[in-house]
Structure 1
Amino acid sequence: MTQLLNPLDFRISSGDLVAELKSRADQVGTNDGLWPGLTIYRFDEPAAPLWEEVRELHLCVIAQGRKRVTQGGDAHYYDPFTYLAISGNEPFLTEIVEASHDKPFLSFGLQLDNDMVREISADIIAERQTTAFTRSPEPTMTVPPPSFVSALDRDMMDAILRFLRALSTGADRRVLAPTYLKEIVYRALQAEQYSRLVERAARESANNPVSAIISYVRDHIAEPLSVNEMAEQAFMSPSAFSHLFRDVTGRSPYQFVKEMRLNKARELLVEDESNVTQISKAVGYRSTSHFINEFRDRFGVTPRAFGDALAGGDLPPVGRLNQAN
C-alpha cells in the first residue's frame, strides 16, 4: 500500500515541483513542456472559466495554487495534495481559483498515449487475474466517472519529479523519460476510482475491430495502407469502417495513419541515426519531400532540425504536436 504524503513531506516535494515548473514556465498561460502531450501552465491571478476537451487519459498535477474543473455537472477542486485524471471525449470547464503574482498558479497537463494506457492496463488486469486464488461473483458494474481526483501519494510524486528532471538532457530524455512516463501511467491506473474504467475499456477493446486494425497498421507501418485495405481487414465496407473508426478514435483512418507514421518517425529520430530518407521509407512515405513537409506541419520543425537538436541536447518545441492532440 502506498503511503500518502503528510504535510511536512509534501512541503519538501512541492517545493521541488514548484522549482521544476517555474524554471520551464517563461510566460503566463501555456508553455511547451519539451515532451509530446506535456503542457505547463502558469497564472499570476485567477482566470475566468474556459471550456476544454481531451480524447485520451489526461493527468493534471498542480504544484502551486488551486483549480476547479467541472464536467458533467460535477465540480472537482484540486490543489497540491491531489491530482486530476480526465478521460473520454466529454468537454469540461476549468477555472483557476487561487493564484497571485507572488505565488503564481503552477501546474502541468500530461496527455497519455492510448497504446501505452492499453498495454499497462492489460498488464494490471492480467496480474490481478493471476494472483487471485478465488474468484468471487463479479460485482454489479456502475458507470465510472469520466474524471476523478486522487490523493497524491509518495510514489506518484517521485515518478513525476523523475520524469520532469529527465527532460533536461538529451540522453536522459531518450532513455529514462519513457520509463518514468510508464510508471506515472501505472500509478494513475492503480487508483481505486479508475480500476473499473480500466476493466471496462479492456472488455470493450476486445470486441472492437478498430483495435485490431490499429495493431495491423502498427505492424505494417512501412507499407502503403488504404482505407479499403483496412476495411477489408475488419470485414466491413469502407464507408461503415470509416464511420466506426472516426467514432472510436476521433479521427479519420487517413488522419490516424498519418499521425502514427509521423510519431513513429519521431521515435526513430530519437532512437537511431538513420538519415531522413531511410526514416521516411521506414514509416511508409514514398516521397521524402512529402514526408519532410508533413513532419514540419506536425512538429513545427523539419526532421533534420529535430535530429540536430537532439544531438545537441536541445529538443525543439512541440507546441504544434500539443495543439494537434
Structure 2
Amino acid sequence: MKSDADTQELLARLTAQFLRRTPSDGETTTIVPGLTLMRLSGPTVVQRGMLKPSFCVVAQGEKIGQAGADTTIRYSAGQFLASSINMPVAGQVLHASKARPYLAAVFELCPADVLSVLADAKIQVDATAPCCPATFVGTADARLLDVVLRSVSSLDDEREARFFAPLLRRELIYRLVTGPSAFAVAQSALQSRPDDGVGRAVEWIKTHFAQPLVIDELAKHVNMSTSSLHHKFKATVMMGPLQYQKRLRLEEARRLLLSGLADATRAAFDVGYESPSQFIREYRRLFGTSPMRDVKRMRDGARTAHLG
C-alpha cells in the first residue's frame, strides 16, 4: 500500500510536469480530448460559471468556491473537485504566486463512462441510499495521482497519448470508484442518469431553461411526486429546480452578452425573461453589477491577462 511519502512524491512530479507544459497563465488545451491543464500565478477574484461533468485534481495551490445555492467548497494540493452534472459554481484561487502557481488538471468525465466502469468492474452501488451532492471534494490517494501523472506524462508522444487516453481514463474512473470517495463518485453518477428522476429533471431544465417551469408538471414528467422531486433535486444539485433554471438562464445570458450576440434586452428575452428590468435586477444580484458593466469588466480583465 502506498504511503503519504509516495503521495507527496507524486505531487512533486505532477507539479514539475505541469510547470513544463503550461508556459503561461490560464488554460492549456492538450492533445488529449477532454484533458486541460490550469496554471495561475496569483490569487484571483471570484469567478462564476458552469462546471461541466468533470474531475479536477490540484497539484499545487488552493481554491475556494461555492456550489449550488450556498455550499462552500475548498480544495488544495492532493485534493480534487468532481461533478456529475452541469453545476453553477463560483470560485477563486486563494494561494498562488509566480514562485508557486496554482496548478491543476481537469478531466471531462460523463456519468455514462463512470457507469460503464462500475458495470465492467462488477461494483455494486446501493441505489436506495440517500442522495448525496453531485458536486463534491475528495482526497486523491497515491494510486489516483499515479494515473493522473501517467496521463500527463504521455503527452510527450502524441500517438502514445491518443492511444492510451481511453485506457487511462477508464483506469482513472476505476481509481475514483474504488478510492476514498468511491461512494460519492458512484452514487452521483447513478443520480445523474437520464433514466433517473433527478437526472431526467436536470436534463429537461437544461434543454428547456427558456420555457416557463411548473414544478408539478416537471414532477409528472419524471415520474416523481412534487415533494420527492424537491427533496432529491436539492440534495443532489444543492439548489431547487427554479433556482437551477434561473442560474442557467443568467449564465447563458452572460455568454450571449460577452460574445456580442445580443444586448441586455435581447438576451433577457432569449433566455426566457418576460421583463428586461427583472432580468437586470437578477443579473445584478448574481454578478454584482449591471449586464453591460459586467461584460466590460470581463473584457478588460481578459485584455489585462493577455498583456500580462
TM-score norm. by structure 1 comes to 0.56
Match of 1:106 among 93, 103, 119: 103
Counterpart mapping for 1:14-53 below 5 A: 14-53=11-50
Following superposition, the deviation at residue 246 of structure 1 comes to 6.4
Q: Would you say 1:160 and 2:151 are equivalent positions?
A: no
Q: Deviations over 1:28-51 (max 9, x none)?
A: 112112222222111111011111
* Corresponding letter in the other structure for 1:43: L
Give the secondary-structure state (helix, strand or coil) at the position aligned to 2:55: strand
Distance 1:62 1:113 in 2: 20
Asked if structure 2 preserves the Cα contact closer than 8 Å seen for 1:20 and 1:165, the reply is: yes
Counterpart mapping for 1:1-325 below 5 A: 3=1, 5-6=3-4, 8-56=5-53, 58-72=54-68, 73-124=70-121, 126-128=122-124, 141-190=129-178, 191-201=182-192, 205=195, 247=204, 250=207
Asked if structure 1 preserves the Cα contact closer than 8 Å seen for 2:22 and 2:37, the reply is: yes
Taking a change above 3 Å as real, the CA distance of residues 185 and 245 of structure 1, as seen in their structure-2 partners, is: same
Taking only the aligned residue pairs, the percentage that are identical comes to: 24
Taking a change above 3 Å as real, the CA distance of residues 170 and 101 of structure 1, as seen in their structure-2 partners, is: closer
Taking a change above 3 Å as real, the CA distance of residues 5 and 250 of structure 1, as seen in their structure-2 partners, is: farther
Q: Deviations over 1:216-268 (max 9, x none)?
A: xxxxxxxxxxxxxxxxxxxxxxxxxxxx99638759xxxxxxxxxxxxxxxxx
* Corresponding letter in the other structure for 1:70: Q
Show structure 1 runs of 5+ residues with no match.
Answer: 130-137, 211-243, 252-325
* Corresponding letter in the other structure for 1:109: V
Following superposition, the deviation at residue 77 of structure 1 comes to 1.2
Give the secondary-structure state (helix, strand or coil) at the position aligned to 2:162: helix
Following superposition, the deviation at residue 188 of structure 1 comes to 2.0
Give the secondary-structure state (helix, strand or coil) at the position aligned to 2:195: helix
Q: Deviations over 1:71-98 (max 9, x none)?
A: 0211121111211112212201111000
TM-score norm. by structure 2 comes to 0.58
Question: Which residue is equivalent to 2:291?
Answer: none
Taking a change above 3 Å as real, the CA distance of residues 4 and 196 of structure 1, as seen in their structure-2 partners, is: farther
Following superposition, the deviation at residue 99 of structure 1 comes to 0.2
Taking a change above 3 Å as real, the CA distance of residues 16 and 139 of structure 1, as seen in their structure-2 partners, is: closer
Give the secondary-structure state (helix, strand or coil) at the position aligned to 1:143: coil
Distance 2:112 2:186 in 1: 17
Following superposition, the deviation at residue 23 of structure 1 comes to 1.1
Asked if structure 1 preserves the Cα contact closer than 8 Å seen for 2:151 and 2:168, the reply is: yes
Following superposition, the deviation at residue 116 of structure 1 comes to 2.3
Give the secondary-structure state (helix, strand or coil) at the position aligned to 1:27: coil
Distance 2:102 2:108 in 1: 20
Give the secondary-structure state (helix, strand or coil) at the position aligned to 1:167: helix
* Corresponding letter in the other structure for 2:204: D
* Corresponding letter in the other structure for 2:58: I
Asked if structure 1 preserves the Cα contact closer than 8 Å seen for 2:57 and 2:78, the reply is: no
Q: CA RMSD in A?
A: 3.1
Distance 2:192 2:104 in 1: 28
Distance 1:81 1:144 in 2: 22
Following superposition, the deviation at residue 119 of structure 1 comes to 1.5
Distance 1:94 1:81 in 2: 18
Taking a change above 3 Å as real, the CA distance of residues 35 and 195 of structure 1, as seen in their structure-2 partners, is: same
Show structure 2 runs of 5+ residues with no match.
Answer: 209-308
Give the secondary-structure state (helix, strand or coil) at the position aligned to 1:53: strand
Distance 1:207 1:100 in 2: 44
Asked if structure 2 preserves the Cα contact closer than 8 Å seen for 1:166 and 1:173, the reply is: yes
Q: Deviations over 1:122-151 (max 9, x none)?
A: 334x4438xxxxxxxx68632210211111
Question: Which residue is equivalent to 1:237?
Answer: none
Give the secondary-structure state (helix, strand or coil) at the position aligned to 2:93: strand
Question: Which residue is equivalent to 1:232?
Answer: none
Taking a change above 3 Å as real, the CA distance of residues 55 and 11 of structure 1, as seen in their structure-2 partners, is: closer
Distance 1:245 1:104 in 2: 35
